[in-house]
Structure 1
């Protein structure tokens, strides 16, 4: 009986990531649409602050609106939340205000990889 309980607990813990990550139920994962929204908000905020400081009036660039596309975020996939947080913090941080949201996005947000059922990390992409 104890062996069955231990086997069941081990099986649940091993398949937990395979079931919960694609469903978006894991705590350290974030849906692509949410990640895209956060990256867009950070880019718009950075552009607004930069434009007010430099010209005295608020404006945003088209690159702020397509920031998730530049970061290669797909809305139907899941991403590691800490990677998305690091990208957003870079865009909102000193580097974002110094270089602008576009260049910071290109430099800091290109290493965000999707986390999926079979083709996500660490499995190869087919």
Structure 2
């Protein structure tokens, strides 16, 4: 699960940065505000890569997905990109857990088949 989720989060890092470049063109937002918010989002996406397997890591990832969709209020294209990354996040968590379970079953089978004392 960690690899799939981290890949999604790194992709979001770049999308948040590019969204900041687009948001800078808005007359309603100051450059300082844009880069403070984008910087926090980018930092969170990188920090979450290391927190995925810890308690609450997945929930924080969902919070970031919600924030990404909500950023569509300022950069309308982010509604679409936020939904796309939300779907990728769901797939990363869902299939990542299935892969982890399969790996655990395979490791248990290998351990059971290993010769004793060998």
- Which structure shows the higher helix fraction? 2
- Which structure shows the higher strand fraction? 1
Higher relative contact order (CA 8 A, sep 6+): 2
TM-score under structure 1 normalisation? Answer: 0.33
